[in-house]
Structure 1
Amino acid sequence: MSSLQVRLSASNPDSHWGSKAPVSFDSQSATIHLSGSDKDQIRSIRKAARLLDSIGIESVQLTDDWSLEQQWAFAGSFTTAKKQNHIQWVSDANQDKLSQMYQAMLFTRNLVNRTPEDIYPQSLANEVSQWLSTLAPQAVTVKTLVGEELQQAGWTGIYNVGRGSSRPPVLLELDYNPSGDANAPVAAALVGKGITFDSGGYSIKASEGMLTMKCDMGGAATVSGALGLAIMQGLNKRVKLFLCCAENLISGHAYKLGDILTYKNGMTVEIVNTDAEGRLVLADGLLAAGETGAGLIIDAATLTGAAVMALGGEYHALFGLDHQTQQKMQTYAEQEMEPVWPLPLENWHQEMCPSPYADTANSRPMKGGGAGGASNAAGFLSRFVPNQGQGWVHMDLAAAFNNTATNTMPAGATAQGIRTIARALLEAE
């Protein structure tokens, strides 16, 4: 397959292409025309990549003087669910790093984009375990609890959310320990929401809202992709990964409105919305992460529509009671050019989902959880983290998935966030 050569230029296109044309062509190549700030240029590259894909360009060779960030922006926007590994990088010192990043991006995106028939709780846990074990075969050990084992072990959130499905829920605990020392401290713990399909349960979603719910395991895919990327980039610290995997379906054995769950820390939770299930499974994951003694805990989840309403589809929302750790994550995101934005979280957000029957409800009994839904969800999670939230950051992945292509990104998973989280792991103390 011949490849179209694509180059960059700071000049304006010839007038016959139009004064605002992002791309011009000759018989052998395409030229992307850049102007403005670095961020403006990155956005222009993304738009140009989408344009090239839309006119049927199958394969490209990036030529001349592209920076790493420029190549990465093009790759993220040109690569689709159906067209992958069709980019030749510039032959320079960035090639190996770009190849690692691209591998992690493809793993993350392809996992999210797969059908819910293919990716169910056990297959999600298996695929993540196999990929990470391939990257570091001597450093990875895996433990899983499945189905009734979860109930017996006290992981009530994952068990109850997943018990309505014939395919049992799973808690995956993956230990990346490059030193091999069983007593080595855990530098960081990652927690991912792995709802492989979300019908909403008895608080059932409308059909159009349910269509994209194969992406509700985007948090699990993101933290897994991030750990894989960090391993490829030389991670030498011990990290534990917890994936909270379940299908939220309706059956005679499904959990119901009005149920009360009792967590391992003694917290009781009234179920007022079975579609607010992500926080229920993450609560178990956060408790497990806290047991490791890790100084840094990061959870990631496609958790609330409220975050999407607040930030749109290009920023992830960032929450933390520990504002210093939250600021570090925001700095890493800026350095890795993955947009995030902080939303409010204070201790009093724990009180925003009251229950007359339990310590808290899992939401508020109104559409979308009512005003401040993303912060209230983060407040719920903060009940399950150690040390009053010191060292903990919650990422609500508003930019994880696009049902249809935009002018900057293809349809499907984005893998946005893997670089930020990988950077945090490499920088962890």
Structure 2
Amino acid sequence: MTDSIHITLQPKAAEAKWGKKASLTPTDSGFQIHLDNAFPARSIQKAARQLDGLGVEEVTLSGDGWDLERQWAFYLGFTSAKKMAGVQWQGEAATQLSQLAHCFSWARQITNQTPEQLSPEALANATVAFLTPLAPDAISHRLITGDALLAEGWVGIHGVGRGSERPPVMLVLDYNPTGKADAPVDAVLVGKGITFDSGGYSIKPSESMSYMKCDMGGAATVAAALGLAVMKGLSRRVQLVLCCAENLISGHAYKLGDILTYKNGTSVEILNTDAEGRLVLADGLLYASETGAPLIIDAATLTGAAMVALGNDYNALFALDTALQQRALGYATEVQEPTWPLPLAPWHQGQCPSPYADTANSRPVKGGGTGGASNAAGFLSRFVPEGGKGWLHFDLAAAFNSSNGPLWAAGATGMGIRAIAETLRQEAGKG
């Protein structure tokens, strides 16, 4: 990278000739970024987006002030769906930054793949191929595919995915660095892996469906979070459960009015086939509950309501275990991934009533009605043990952008990976 452009940090404002709000000005060897001292990381990320817009392919971060978080902010702004590299790291943080880039680039690239490229089985296999080399002696896995899901009682994943010619899959990946087959499972990560979401018979409009390749972003996020934790020396046994399916329309697809009865006896009437994420996650949460793990974390691009509430800058965090929720918010703050708590109480379980089943999967109004993100979290809370103790639900409002913006290129962001990885590292084993 000897010919790469050098980028330096400048705490002073740009000279007047460049305009009052200039954040990026040329130097003899490249460019300097004029920091907004109130929001330095954001100003760096915005300037990096400008450099990407200029077509710059390779840069070297030079001079003073480039701590880990500032270098990482630059990387997030500089990279895009077509370019996941090109930044020469500086200083002692280089190893940590390389680990982050490895995990984020995998998650972003797989989320940006086309629906044709990424079937449910392809997502599961790609996850195994990503994680196994990180700890080949400690990782094993199992795929439960197609009608085998029904045989084992995983009715949610099967029901949502049965309308596609490409079968649904549950991936169970076991990271067990103890080497003991009877070692307790300290944590389970559960991810929504809807590789394409047409909405089913509650079909989405084209403008919403056009970027629904991102609906497996939860699966990519928890897989990358596990990878990052492993690279940082995670010594606890953790299992990863990905709930993978295509939500398509056919003569075999599930329909409004159908009732699914889960392994814990909960019956669910389908009032919206586009509220499918919670149906597949319910299976993953039930599996996690069966392990006896004291920590369960799920992540999903679950509701538009979370995006309405928080925009694309924050992920939403739900929990009934408020002490754990507060600690997780602290970990997210430490790694500078904006995360915000939204309301969840036990009574949210009753917000989607059904005259035919224990609950419906949604309310029969557009978008699920008011409080949709909390109602979805309430639905999920039916499938976790001990009244939600030890359970966290991330609704990934900040995981994907449908178009270029001032902070992010179009596509997957990876937001949530660091927060979940840090929560896993800090909390696994506490129970």
TM range (shorter): over 0.9
8 Å CA contact 2:187–2:237 kept in 1: the answer is yes
Residue 357 (str. 1) matches residue 356 (str. 2): yes
**1:404 counterpart = 2:409:** no
> 1:32 is matched with which residue?
33
Unaligned runs of 5+ in 2: none
What's the CA shift string for 1:370-417, capped at 9, x where partnerless?
000000000000000011100000000000100111101111000011
Q: Secondary structure at the match of 2:92?
A: coil
SS in 2 for 1:94: helix
Alignment-derived partner of residue 254 in structure 1: 253
Q: Tell me the residue number matched to 2:89.
A: 89
Q: Is contact 2:61–2:87 with CA below 8 Å preserved after alignment?
A: yes
Percent of residue pairs identical:
61
Cross-structure match for 1:334: 333
Q: Does residue 139 of structure 1 match 2:132?
A: no
How big is the shift at 1:110? 0.5
Q: Which amino acid aligns with 1:4?
A: I
Q: Which residue of 2 aligns with 1:215?
A: 214
Superposed counterparts of 1:229-240, under 5 Å? 229-240=228-239
Give the distance between the partners of 1:76 and 1:203, measured in 2 at CA.
35
Q: Which residue of the partner structure matches residue 202 of structure 2? A: 203
2:80 aligned partner: 80
Distance 1:385 1:166 in 2: 31
1:71 match? 71
Q: Distance in 2 between matches of 1:334 and 1:117?
A: 37
Gaps of 5+ in 1: none
How far, CA to CA, are the matches of 1:290 and 1:280 in structure 2? 16
Moved more, 202-211 or 27-36: 27-36
Equivalent positions of 1:30-429 (< 5 A) are: 30-37=31-38, 40-65=39-64, 66-90=66-90, 92-428=91-427, 429=430
- 1:3 is displaced (CA, Å) by 1.1
Deviations 1:218-268 (A, max 9, x none): 000000000000111111110000000000000000000000000000000
CA distance in 2: counterparts of 1:85 and 1:136, whole angstroms: 24
CA distance in 2 between counterparts of 1:180 and 1:131 reads 21
CA distance in structure 1 between the aligned counterparts of 2:85 and 2:274, rounded to whole angstroms: 37
SS in 1 for 2:383: coil
2:416 partner amino acid: G
Cα deviation for residue 84 of structure 1 reads 2.1
Shift of 1:36: 2.5
Task: Answer with 275-284 or 6-15: which moved more.
Answer: 6-15
Q: Which amino acid aligns with 1:78?
A: F
| Partner-residue secondary structure (3-state), 1:145 | strand
Contact 2:11 2:37 in 1 (8 A): no
AA aligned to 1:172 is L
Give TM-score, length-normalised by structure 2.
0.98
Separation in structure 2 between the aligned mates of residue 35 and residue 173 of structure 1, nearest angstrom: 45
Q: 4+ residue runs of structure 1 moved beyond 2 angstroms? A: none
Cα distance in 2 for residues equivalent to 1:43 and 1:130? 34
Note the alpha carbon deviations across 1:121-177, whole angstroms, 9 max, x for none. 000000001111011100000011000000111000000000000000000000000
C-alpha separation in 2, matches of 1:35 and 1:59:
24
State the distance in 2 between where 1:363 and 1:84 align: 38
Instruction: Tell me by how many angstroms 1:186 deviates.
Output: 1.1
Secondary structure at the counterpart of residue 303 of structure 1: coil
Aligned to 1:22: 23
CA distance in 2, matches of 1:47, 1:130: 33
Structure 1 counterpart of 2:26, which letter? F
Distance, in Å, in 2 between the alignment partners of 1:84 and 1:307 is 28
Name the Cα RMSD after superposition: 0.8
Q: What displacement does 1:292 show?
A: 1.0
> Secondary structure, in 3 states, of the residue corresponding to 2:287?
helix
1:203 aligned partner, one-letter code: S
TM superposition shift of 1:14? 1.5
Cα distance in 2, alignment partners of residues 275 and 349 from structure 1: 20
| CA deviation string 1:194-234 (max 9, x = no partner) | 00000000000011110000000000000000000011111
Cα distance in structure 1, aligned partners of 2:27 and 2:399 = 36
Give 1:212's aligned amino acid: Y
AA of the residue aligned to 1:29: G
1:321-349 alpha-carbon deviations (Å, 9 max, x no partner): 00011111100100000001000000000
Post-superposition shift, 1:85?
1.5
Amino acid at match of 1:353: C
Amino acid at match of 2:21: K
Q: Does 1:13 align with 2:11?
A: no
